[in-house]
Structure 1
Amino acid sequence: MATPNYGYEKRQKELAKKKKKEDKAREKAARKLNPSSEGLAPGDPETDVASLERDPPTVPELPTKDG
């Protein structure tokens, strides 16, 4: 009877974990480059376009030379 090769099994788990991590990072980068409306909470003031149209974000005034 053959003995289990634990080193091989461990290496396969490590490779699968590494691949999953790379895939996740690739998907995250793709989401960052191509943001979509998926996953956005409706009514969220930072992402809700309707709330931005009603209440535009305020921009702090820049100081002038005169004070």
Structure 2
Amino acid sequence: MAKTNFQYEKRQRELEKKRKADEKARKKQEAKQHKGDDAPAQDEDSGEEAQQEHDPA
């Protein structure tokens, strides 16, 4: 009877975990980008406040 190649199976499980993690990270990044596109006014306001804080005048 043939022996099971446990190293191959383990490597395949690791690759599948990595693929799933990469896909999840990609979806999370897309959602974050999409959320940022919907509210550009908030980013502009916070940027102006940051400039005022650093401006000594």
Report if TM-score (shorter chain) is over 0.5: yes
The structure number with the bigger radius of gyration is 1
Map of 1:6-17 to 2, 5 A cutoff? 6-17=6-17
Number of residues of Structure 1 aligned to a counterpart in Structure 2: 36
Identity of aligned residues (%): 51
What is the TM-score normalised by the length of structure 2? 0.59
Structure 1 stretches of 4+ with a deviation exceeding 4 A read none
> What TM-score does the superposition give when structure 1 sets the normalisation length?
0.51
Question: What value does the CA root-mean-square deviation take over the aligned residues?
Answer: 1.1
Measured in 2, the distance between the counterparts of 1:22 and 1:33 equals: 16
Where structure 1 has 5 or more consecutive residues not aligned to the other structure, the ranges are 36-67
Higher helix share: 2
Structure 2 gap segments, 5+ residues each = 36-57
Higher relative contact order (CA 8 A, sep 6+): 1
